Amino acid sequence: MNSGGRTVPVADLRRLDLNLLVVFQHLLELRSLSAVARRLDLTQPAVSNALRRLRDTLGDDLFVRTGQGMLPTPFAERLAGPVGEALGLLTRMLEADEVFDPSASTRRFRIAMSDVGEIHFMPRLMEICALRAPGVRIDSVRSGGPELQRELEAGRIDLAVGAFDDLAGDVVQRMLFRQGYVTLFRQGHPQAHEGMGLKAFRAQKHLAVSRAAPYGQVNQALEAAGIALQSHFSVPHFSAVPYIVSTTDLLATVPAKLAASAAPRFGLGMLAPPLRVPPLQTNLYWQRRFQRDGGSQWLRGLIVDLYAEAAGGPGRR
């Protein structure tokens, strides 16, 4: 076997089982034979056998076991886009004459969103699915930049929700809402209060979110106000913020919807930060070739019905 650049002979393609490509696609995502077996409801030996047959047919190792899981060879990485696109096309063709019925569907959707997006979107989506579409499953995934662009194009991610300003090409977007930022503090904090001035605000210890994209403008605003974040505490994600703020005297400036959700649950106070932070716009994104896909239409409509706060039509990026 090898990983060199070459084409697959026609004879190999004639004996290629389409089900093997399904296993290939899931291995690209999960990097684990056991995880693929669980997702596809197969035994691990069955998945191992499928990989062996693929290797024999395509003449390449395809995946190599490492400490980070089953990593794809260069040839497998080159196959990823065409295989995903081909399987997506076949799926759509087979479903073209079928009306999507959420009450009977067992489709699994994948939505790219941040951790703060999960906190806002996922609980209600899961609740509605349990009521209206009990067989439908939704997976949230982390993705962004060129990777998200490729995953949307290949159909491996159905939708993206957030502020993904770098998406381009044939991606459609629909605005859901705009929001500002709110500073959270524990009830009983000795200095924090609504109407707090910039000098007092700057004198406090802050909790920053170091991997705040696509919410990084709040960190820029804090720095511009004279708060040197390198001398304060930080966490990589928003999800830990209310747990920490509720037991310390740290201030944390977060998107308003996260603050509104976390404050009553954790007994937190809120104040308008004495900063100028541009409002954050959250959009719904999808690949234009899935515009008429019944399942995608249903899920997009559900998200718009639940979360859109202002009219906004789709537009080409």
Instruction: Write the pLDDT tens digit of every residue in 261-275.
Output: 999 999 999 999 999
**pLDDT level of residue 18 (50, 70, 90 thresholds):** confident
The mean per-residue pLDDT over the stretch 62-84 comes to 89
Interval 140-166 mean pLDDT: 89
Q: Do 108-178+280-307 and 181-271 agree at the fold level?
A: yes
The region of weakest confidence among 122-136, 153-167, 175-189 is 153-167
In this structure, how many other beta carbons lie within 10 angstroms of the beta carbon of residue 166? 12
> In this predicted structure, what is the pLDDT of residue 51?
92
Q: What is the pLDDT of residues 234-249, one digit of tens each?
A: 998 898 999 999 999 9
Is the pLDDT at 168 greater than 80, yes or no? yes
Q: Is 300 a residue whose pLDDT tops 50? A: yes
pTM: 0.68
CA atoms within 13 A on the CB side of 166: 10
Mean pLDDT in residue range 41-67: 90
Name the residue with higher pLDDT: 290 or 213.
290
More confident site: 2 or 168: 168
User: Which CATH number does the domain 181-271 belong to among 3.40.640.10, 3.40.190.10, 3.40.50.720, 1.10.760.10?
Assistant: 3.40.190.10
What is the predicted pLDDT for the residue at 314?
43
- Mean residue pLDDT of the chain comes to 87
Using only C-alpha atoms, the chain has a radius of gyration, in whole angstroms, of 23
The 3-class secondary structure across 274-286, one letter per residue, is: CCCCCCEEEEEEE
Q: Span 8-34, mean pLDDT?
A: 77
Mean pLDDT computed over 293-315: 81
Residue range 148-177: mean pLDDT, rounded:
90
Say if CB 242 and CB 248 are below 8 A apart. no
- What average pLDDT does the segment 165-185 reach? 91
Cα 290 to Cα 160: distance, rounded to the nearest angstrom: 13
Instruction: Categorize the per-residue pLDDT at 196 as very low, low, confident or very high, splitting at 50, 70 and 90.
Output: very high
Distance CA 126, CA 171 (A): 25
CATH topology of domain 15-94: Arc Repressor Mutant, subunit A (1.10.10)
With CA atoms as reference, report the closest residue to 161 among 306, 289, 28.
306
**pLDDT at res. 309:** 84
Q: Check whether 139 has a pLDDT greater than 90.
A: yes
Report the pLDDT value the prediction gives residue 14, as an integer from 0 to 100: 61
Contact 284, 173 (CB under 8 A): yes
108-178+280-307 falls under which CATH superfamily?
Answer: Periplasmic binding protein-like II (3.40.190.10)
- What percent of the chain stands above pLDDT 70? 89
Enter the tokens of residue 202: 């700057």
Residue 133 pLDDT > 90, yes or no? yes
- Residue 179, classed as helix, strand or coil, is strand
Predicted pLDDT of residue 134: 96
Q: Give the pLDDT confidence score for residue 316 in this predicted structure.
A: 36
Query: Domain residue spans in the chain?
Result: 15-94, 108-178+280-307, 181-271
Q: What is the DSSP string of 187-254?
A: TT-SS--TT--HHHHHHS-BEEETT-TT-THHHHHHHHTT--GGGSEEESSGGGHHHHHTTSS-BEEE
Query: What pLDDT, on the 0 to 100 scale, is given for residue 123?
Result: 95
Question: Which of 140, 141, 129 shows the shortest CA–CA distance to 105?
Answer: 129
**What pLDDT shows up at residue 313?**
42
